[in-house]
Amino acid sequence: VQLVESGGGLVQAGGSLRLSCAASGNTVSFNSMAWFRQAPGKQRELVADITVSGGTTNYADSVKGRFTISRDNGKNTMYLQMNSLKPEDAAVYYCNAKVHTGLAFRYYWGQGTQVTVSS
Helix (H, G, I), strand (E, B) or coil at 41: coil
From CA 91, how far away is CA 114, in angstroms rounded? 6
pLDDT at 26: 86
- Cβ-based neighbour number of residue 35 at 10 Å: 26
From CA 49, how far away is CA 57, in angstroms rounded? 6
Q: Helices (H), strands (E): how many in the chain? A: 0, 11
- Condensed to tens digits (0 to 9), the pLDDT of residues 2-55 reads 999 999 999 999 999 999 999 999 888 899 999 999 999 999 999 999 998 888
- Condensed to tens digits (0 to 9), the pLDDT of residues 66-101 reads 999 999 989 999 999 999 999 999 999 999 999 998
Answer yes or no: are the C-beta atoms of 78 and 95 closer than 8 Å. yes
pLDDT at 103: 85
